[in-house]
Chains A and B, each alone.
Chain A
Amino acid sequence: MENRTRILEAYTAHLREHGTPPHTVHAFCKSLDLGERDFFHEFASLESVESAIWGDWISRLATSVSSGAEWKDFSARHRYLTFLFAFTESSLDWRSLMLTRFSHLAPVASPPFLKAFEEHFKTFAADIISHGISTGEIASRGPLQAFYPAVLYIHFRAVISFLLKDESQRFERTDAFIEKTVAFAFDVIRTQAIDSAFDLARFLTPSVWGKMS
């Protein structure tokens, strides 16, 4: 087994077992019977190992859903839904680990160990958005649409917090949450709601300033 895989597996096992990352690279390498040189050849820090664990999960899921037979016929909305449902299904194997690592996170900002997780997700989301724009499902809005992947990431994190708090049988409420929020989000992206909101904000901003001065 190559070192990268060994490190990832041992690190995952450690997280599952102890609920916290290993304290030092040295201790971790010792338990793995691996030279530090070999460790740093693969990863720059302990945090970057965990980042790779979560990031690899997202990229595996993205590859797996987009290689499905029906993928090419799916709209952007269906693609995103398919990804999220694949995620919740796969999360059953990760639930305990997610509970220890995700439960206390602030809803928006990503800690360093979720860097790759966020990046892979946003790359995938950007693909979905550009598919939606090419089919006319999502209105093209110039520079504004650069924020779409970030908005979807916030949504994705909201799905995760919902999932981790979900007590329903087989987490069915999370499925309903996904279905409904995605329908809502794509309604907003598609319609002129965003444009109107910005227009309103632009209109109001000077007058608010005027009052304050």
Chain B
Amino acid sequence: MSTQERIRSNRLDRMAALAGAGARVGMNYLKHYGRQAISGQADPDALQEKNASEVFRTFSELKGGPLKLAQMLSIDQSLLPPAYAKQFARAQYSAPPLSYPLVVRTFRREFGKDPRDIFDTFEPQAAHAASIGQVHRATRGGREFAVKVQYPGVAESLRSDLAVVKPIALQILGLRERDVAAYFREVETRLLEETDYEKELSSAMHLSAACAHLPQIRFPEYHPEFSTRRVITMDWMDGETFDVFADGPAPQDLRDSIGQALWDFYAHQIHDLRVFHADPHPGNFLVSGDKLCVLDFGCTKTIDAAFHAKQFAFLDPTLETNPARLAATMESMAILLPSDTPAQRAHLMTLCKRSLELLSRPFRSPRFDFGDPAFMSAIYELGEENRKNDALRGIRGQRGSADTIYLNRTFFGLYSLLTRLRARVQAPIPTGLVFE
């Protein structure tokens, strides 16, 4: 059976599939408690892992909205239990392809020609899938191309997808609507933006030119002449997928050097360009020799200088010992609000201090070892603790800037990637930051 035949066909089907996942999660709980009753002991982590993979399987079968939603929710580790967050952070590879006749149809609509009239060869089977499209391998005049084709009508169906999926997803994942309202709005905006291939093409060309001087970063060359709002053509890049490289036998010095390249790439974008690739996901990178190839610019984010200054003011080392300064910095980002009670204020400040101590660790040491699993676990644990903290839940949501979501997503993704690489990285506090 081809993978394509597993696509869920309509809304009703999708709901049925999600209900199926809910039922399987329920079954796992039953088994779990059954085992507990018989043996008197059970492993709650194992249960959560199992549930996460059930939900993940369903979401990736549904493609599009639900898969993306799962990914977005996994950005904020305080929203999802660690087992879910880990599964979803890896989403993307398993989405099923669209049929070749539909690819041909899309080409005829976009270019007025068949793919094989434009390229010398064009592989009917997709080389790999993305959440809203898929990539085909093609050649022309001896040159190899990766041609990314978008699902037709995906932008229009996303809204209805999310509307259907949201309540069920919340139920399965055990989230409360008001906790995640901001994320759902965010997902919708991002998704619609990701369907705009013309924008993606221009961001890709802009960012790859602005990062061309980074010695270990490679970008495919983009081909606007074979790109439209539904198709993007770029050079084919050979290399190992990031996952394969990270889990493979690569020596430590190569891990360090790839990790450093990744860090420097992000530092340059965030601090110098203030435009960045906001989706540091293993599926967006390839490793080729000692070079890191960056493949996908569907999700880029621009921040302004004022926001940048306010956000990275949190890197000021004196904040840990100077509560007044910390409070002022938090106020400037609307994390502390004038309406907060003294108890809430104290609570938030303690939390912020703990997060800062943890999240700025890479910046504090001359060479930070992401290979130490304790670091990511501590982040997950802190998130888990916050997630369970009802006092905090009540006051989350309306705080902070929407831009912070992107930065969090980016840093969380970046830390996850570096942890998978087990890289040791020099992460100095960016030059040019002034802590008044």
Q: A residues touching B (Cβ–Cβ < 8 Å)?
A: 70, 74, 77-78, 81-82, 85, 88-89, 168, 170, 172-173, 175-176, 178-181, 183-184, 186-187, 190
Within 8 A of A (CB), among B1-41: 4-5, 7, 9-10, 13
Residues A170 and B4 in contact in the complex (CB < 8 Å), given A85-B102, A176-B153: no
Please tell me the size bucket of the interface on B: 20 to 34
Q: Is the CB of B5 within 8 A of A82?
A: no
Within 8 A of A (CB), among B96-153: 98-102, 104-106, 108-109, 124, 151-153
Q: Is the CB of A173 within 8 A of B7?
A: no
Task: Note all chain B residues with C-beta closer than 8 A to A176.
Answer: 151-154, 157
Q: Is the CB of A181 within 8 A of B157?
A: no
Q: Closest residue of chain A to B98, judged by CB? A: A179
Residues A173 and B4 in contact in the complex (CB < 8 Å), given A85-B101, A89-B105, A183-B9: no
Q: Is the CB of A77 within 8 A of B109?
A: no
Task: Note all chain A residues with C-beta closer than 8 A to B98.
Answer: 179
Q: Is the CB of A175 within 8 A of B104?
A: no
Q: Is the CB of A173 within 8 A of B152?
A: yes
Smallest CB–CB gap between B44 and chain A, Å? 37
Smallest CB–CB gap between A198 and chain B, Å? 22
B156 on the A face (CB < 8 A): yes
Q: Is the CB of A89 within 8 A of B9?
A: no
Q: Is the CB of A179 within 8 A of B102?
A: yes
Q: Is the CB of A184 within 8 A of B9?
A: yes
Q: Is the CB of A183 within 8 A of B7?
A: yes
Task: Note all chain A residues with C-beta closer than 8 A to B152.
Answer: 172-173, 175-176, 179
Q: Is the CB of A173 within 8 A of B157?
A: yes
Q: How far is the CA of A88 from the CA of B104 in the complex (A)?
A: 13
Smallest CB–CB gap between B228 and chain A, Å? 11
Q: Is the CB of B108 within 8 A of A89?
A: yes
Task: Note all chain B residues with C-beta closer than 8 A to A172.
Answer: 109, 152-153, 156
Residues A180 and B7 in contact in the complex (CB < 8 Å), given A89-B109, A175-B102: yes
Smallest CB–CB gap between B1 and chain A, Å? 8
Interface of B is mostly: helix
Q: Show 13 residue pairs from A and B whose CB-CB distance is below 8 angstroms, ordered by the A residue.
A: A81-B102, A82-B104, A85-B105, A89-B109, A172-B156, A173-B153, A175-B102, A175-B105, A175-B153, A176-B152, A176-B154, A180-B7, A184-B13
Smallest CB–CB gap between A163 and chain B, Å? 12
* Selected contact of B109 from candidates A82, A170, A180, A183, CB within 8 Å: A170
Smallest CB–CB gap between B192 and chain A, Å? 13
Interface of A is mostly: helix
Q: How far is the CA of A168 from the CA of B155 in the complex (A)?
A: 10
Q: Closest residue of chain A to B7, judged by CB? A: A183
Q: Is the CB of A77 within 8 A of B99?
A: yes
**With contacts A82-B101, A173-B156, A184-B13 known, what are 6 further pairs, Cβ within 8 A?**
A89-B105, A168-B156, A175-B106, A175-B153, A176-B151, A180-B10
Q: Closest residue of chain A to B109, judged by CB? A: A170
Smallest CB–CB gap between B117 and chain A, Å? 11
- What 1/0 mask marks residues of chain B from 150 to 178 whose CB sits below 8 Å from any chain A CB? 01111011000000000000000000000
Q: Closest residue of chain B to A83, judged by CB? A: B101
Q: How far is the CA of A184 from the CA of B4 in the complex (A)?
A: 10
Q: How far is the CA of A89 from the CA of B152 in the complex (A)?
A: 14
Residues A186 and B156 in contact in the complex (CB < 8 Å), given A85-B104, A175-B102, A179-B99: no
Q: Closest residue of chain B to A77, judged by CB? A: B99
Q: Is the CB of B5 within 8 A of A183?
A: yes
Q: How far is the CA of A170 from the CA of B108 in the complex (A)?
A: 12
Q: Closest residue of chain B to A82, judged by CB? A: B101
Task: Note all chain A residues with C-beta closer than 8 A to B157.
Answer: 173, 176
Residues A168 and B153 in contact in the complex (CB < 8 Å), given A89-B105, A175-B106: yes
Task: Note all chain A residues with C-beta closer than 8 A to B109.
Answer: 89, 170, 172, 175
Q: Is the CB of A180 within 8 A of B102?
A: no
Task: Note all chain A residues with C-beta closer than 8 A to B104.
Answer: 82, 85
Task: Note all chain A residues with C-beta closer than 8 A to B124.
Answer: 70
Q: How far is the CA of A181 from the CA of B13 in the complex (A)?
A: 11
Task: Note all chain A residues with C-beta closer than 8 A to B100.
Answer: 78
Residues A78 and B101 in contact in the complex (CB < 8 Å), given A175-B106, A183-B9: yes
Residues A81 and B156 in contact in the complex (CB < 8 Å), given A183-B4, A186-B5: no
Q: Which 8 A-B pairs have the closest CB atoms?
A: A81-B101, A172-B153, A85-B105, A184-B9, A172-B152, A175-B152, A173-B153, A180-B9
Task: Note all chain B residues with C-beta closer than 8 A to A82.
Answer: 101, 104
Smallest CB–CB gap between B62 and chain A, Å? 12
Smallest CB–CB gap between B301 and chain A, Å? 26
Smallest CB–CB gap between B99 and chain A, Å? 6
Task: Note all chain A residues with C-beta closer than 8 A to B5.
Answer: 183, 186-187, 190
Task: Note all chain B residues with C-beta closer than 8 A to A88.
Answer: 105
Residues A181 and B153 in contact in the complex (CB < 8 Å), given A77-B99, A82-B101, A175-B106: no
